[in-house]
Amino acid sequence: MQRNVDALTDETFDLCIIGGGITGAGAALDAASRGWRVALIDKGDFASGTSSVSSKLVHGGLRYLEHGHFGLVREALIERGRLLRNAPHLVEPLPFLLPFYVGQRVAPWKWRLGLALYDFLAGTENIARSRPLSVSRLHAISPTLQQTDLLGGVQYFDARMDDARLCLAVIRTAAKHGAVVTNYVEAIGFDKVNETLTTLHAHDKLQAKALAIRARTFLNATGPWADALTRLAGDQAGPLLQPTKGAHLIAPDRGHRFAHLLLHPRDHRVFFVIPWNNRTLIGTTDTHIDANTGPDNLAVTADDTAYLLDAYNQFFSPGLETTDILGSFVGLRPLIRSKSGEPSDLTREFRLQRAASGLFTSLGGKYTTYRHMAETIIDGIGKSLGKRRRCKTAELRLAGTPIDDDWQTFLARTVLQFETEFAIAPDTSRHLIQRYGTDALAVVQRATQLTAGLQRVHPDEPDLLGERVWQAEEEMAIHADDFLLRRSRIGMVRKVDFSP
C-alpha cells in the first residue's frame, strides 16, 4: 500500500471518506468491495484518533445488558465471531473473570442471569459458555485478587484486538479492492453546486500541497471531530456529539492470565484489568470534557491516574503506585448527544445522518460493530446514488488472514518455518505472525536484506529492527509515532531511540 496523493485528484469518486479511523476504514472496505470508486483521507495517521486508544476489546458489552440494549449486544457478539474468523492474527479469544463481592451495586444473581443471556445471545458465535467459580478456584487462577468479602465469581469469554493494526488491516484490504487511501491529508473546505457538495478541498501535509477531490458523495467519518467537519460543510445542525473522555494506564506485567471485569469502588462503574502485550492495561475512565478540551488536546490527568490506581489497588495486592506506571493513553468516545445525565448512560448506538448539503455523517457506535455500521452506511449512501450491489464483507478475510489453513495450523507451520529457514526464536516468530499474519514471511524476507534487520529493537521486546522498512514501504508509516505507537506499540512502554 503506497501513498499516492495524485490519485486523489485523477477522477470523480463515488464516495470520498474523511477520516481513517475504524469507521472510515470499514466504510471504505465495504464500498470498495462492492465495486465503488472510493477515496479515503486522514489528517493524521490512520487510526491516530480514537481507534488506537480503545480498551482493545472486541466484545458484546456485558454492561449494556443492564440498560436493556439486547439488540446492540447481540449484534456485537455476532460481529465478534466474524472478526475472530476474518482477522484471527489481530483478534483473539480472551478469558475474563468477574468476581462477586459483598455489597456491590450489581447482585451476583443478576450477573449470572446476564451471563446466561450473554451466552444465549451469542448463539453459534459463542466462544465458550460462562461458568461459575468458587472462591478457592478464583484464588487459584487469580492469586493477587482481593479475598476479603469475595463471594465467588464467573469466568466468561470475549476477545482482544490490536486496535490500530486492525484498522490498518481494514484500510489495506480496502486498498487491495481499489480504494485510494492516504494519510496526512486534511479536509479544509468544500465547494457546492446548487447547495450540494461536489468537491473537497484538502491539504497534503507532507508536500504542503492543495488538493481538490471530486466525488458524488462525501462521508464524514471523523469520530470526535464530526461536529467540526459538519461546520466546515456549512451545515448548521448544532452539536451532534457529546464526547466523553476515556483514559488507560499501562502497568508492568502483574501475572494476570485472565482479564478482569470489576466495579470501581467510588462510582460503581465497570472497569477492566487486561493482560496486554506482556503488560497490564487498566481502564477506563468515562468523564465529560470542558468546552476548551477537544480531540486534539487531550491529556491523562493526575485525577485520571488516581481514579484508575484506586480501582486497581482496591482489588489487587500487591497494588500499584504512580511510579510503577509505564505509560498511558487517552481518547474521546464519539457519542451521540443525548439529554440523559451521566456519561456512562450515553448511548453507544450508531446513527447515519444526512445534511442538507448531502454530507453523510456517521455518529456514535463502537469498534466491535464497525463492519455492521459500514454495511448500514454504504447501504444508506447506495440508495442516494442508485447503487444496489449488496454488502460483501461478512465473510471477507482481512489482509494477513490465511485463506487455506485454519489459524492454529498456519501459526504452528510458520513458527517452524521461521525457525528452520531464518533461525528466528519461536516467541519472535509468534509476535511477527500475530502482527502481520500471512505477510510475516515477506516482512522477514525484507528484514534479511538489511544489516541488523533481524535484530531486536530492544533486548526485552520481540519487535525487530527490520519491521520498520516493511511498515514504511507497505503500511504508509511516515513519522516516528506511526512506527512506535500504531504499527508497533513499543513507544507506549519504552523510550526508543528512533532513527528511520
For the CB of residue 133, give the shortest distance to ligand FAD in the complex, in Å. 23
Q: Tell me if 24 contacts ligand FAD by CB under 6 A.
A: yes
* Count of residues in contact with ligand FAD, rule CB under 6 A: 38
74: left (phi over 0), alpha (psi -120 to 50) or beta: alpha
Alpha helices in 334-466 (DSSP H): 370-385, 407-422, 426-436, 440-448
Whole-angstrom CA distances from 35 to 8, 282, 441 are 17, 42, 30
Considering only residues 352 through 381, tell me which ones interact with ligand FAD, judged by CB under 6 A: 365-368
Q: At its nearest, how many Å lie between ligand FAD and the CB of residue 229?
A: 6
| Exposure string over 195-205, b if 16+ CB within 10 A, otherwise e | eebbbbebbbe
Binding-residue pattern over the window 180 to 219 for ligand FAD, x denoting contact by CB under 6 A: ------xx--------------------------------
What minimum distance in Å lies between the beta carbon of 143 and ligand FAD?
A: 26
CB 352, min distance to ligand FAD, A: 12
Please, which residues bridge with residue 218 across strands? 16
Nearest to ligand FAD of 49, 99 (CB atom): 49
* Interface positions, 49-68, toward ligand FAD (CB under 6 A): 49-51, 53-57
Q: Which CB sits closer to ligand FAD, 216 or 372? A: 372
Residue 328 near ligand FAD by CB under 6 A: no
Rounded Cα distance between 42 and 39, Å, is: 10
Least Å distance, CB 338 to ligand FAD, is 16
Pick the closer one to ligand FAD by CB: 59 or 430.
59
Contacts of 284 (CB under 8 A, 6+ apart): 55, 246, 247, 248, 271, 272, 308
Residue 142 interacts with ligand FAD (CB under 6 A)? no
Residue at grid coordinates 457546492: 192
> In angstroms, what is the minimal distance from the CB of 119 to ligand FAD?
19
Alpha carbons 60 and 67: distance in angstroms, whole number: 13
To ligand FAD, the closest distance from the beta carbon of 28 in angstroms equals: 11
CB of 29 to ligand FAD, least distance (A): 13
Q: What is the rounded distance in angstroms from the CA atom of residue 251 to the CA atom of residue 493?
A: 9
Of 44-52, 303-311, 338-346, 392-400, the segment contacting ligand FAD by CB under 6 A is: 44-52
Q: How far is the CB of 275 from ligand FAD (least distance, A)?
A: 14
- Nearest-approach distance from CB 182 to ligand FAD, in angstroms: 10
Asked if residue 290 lies in contact with residue 245, where contact means CB atoms within 8 angstroms, the answer is no
Q: Which three cell numbers stand for residue 30?
A: 465495504
Q: Say whether residue 16 binds ligand FAD (CB under 6 A).
A: no
Least Å from the CB of residue 483 to ligand FAD: 17
Residue with Cβ nearer ligand FAD (443 or 476): 476
Report the 3 state secondary structure along 246-279.
Answer: EEEEEEECCCCCCEEEEECCCCCCEEEEEEECCE
Question: What whole-number distance in Å separates Cα of residue 98 and Cα of residue 107?
Answer: 12
Q: Which CB, 80 or 430, lies closer to ligand FAD?
A: 80
The mark string for 277-306 relative to ligand FAD (x by CB under 6 A, - otherwise) is -------x----------------------
Cell of 259: 482479564
Q: Which three cell numbers stand for residue 357?
A: 448539503
Cβ pair 282, 319 in contact under 8 A: no
Q: Which is nearer to ligand FAD, 352 or 464 (CB)?
A: 352
Among 99, 114, 275, 334, binds ligand FAD (CB under 6 A): 334
Q: Closest approach of Cβ 368 to ligand FAD, in Å?
A: 4
Nearer to ligand FAD by C-beta: 225 or 258? Answer: 225
Cβ proximity to ligand FAD, 260 vs 430, nearer residue:
260
State how beta strands 360-364 and 259-263 pair: unpaired
C-alpha cell recorded at residue 85: 474468523
Least Å distance, CB 328 to ligand FAD, is 11
Quote the CA–CA distance of 14 and 405 in Å, as a whole number.
36
CA angle, residues 435, 439, 444, in degrees to nearest 5: 85
Distance (Å, whole) CA 362 – CA 333: 13
In angstroms, the CA 361 to CA 227 distance is 9
Q: Tell me if 22 contacts ligand FAD by CB under 6 A.
A: yes
Q: Is 42 in the site for ligand FAD (CB under 6 A)?
A: yes
Q: How far is Cα 14 from Cα 77, in angstroms, rounded to an integer?
A: 32
Instruction: Identify which of residues 55 and 414 has a Cβ nearer to ligand FAD in the complex.
Output: 55
Pairing of strands 185-193, 270-276: unpaired
Nearer to ligand FAD, 184 or 410 (CB): 184
Cell numbers describing residue 437: 499474519
Q: 165, 172, 333, 486: which one contacts ligand FAD (CB under 6 A)?
A: 333
What would the grid cell of residue 144 be?
493477587
Q: Which of 44, 108, 382, 437 binds ligand FAD (CB under 6 A)?
A: 44
Q: What residues from 225 to 244 belong to the interface with ligand FAD (CB under 6 A)?
A: 225, 229
Instruction: Enumerate binding residues for ligand FAD (CB under 6 A).
Output: 18-24, 41-44, 48-51, 53-57, 186-187, 221-225, 229, 246, 284, 331-334, 365-368
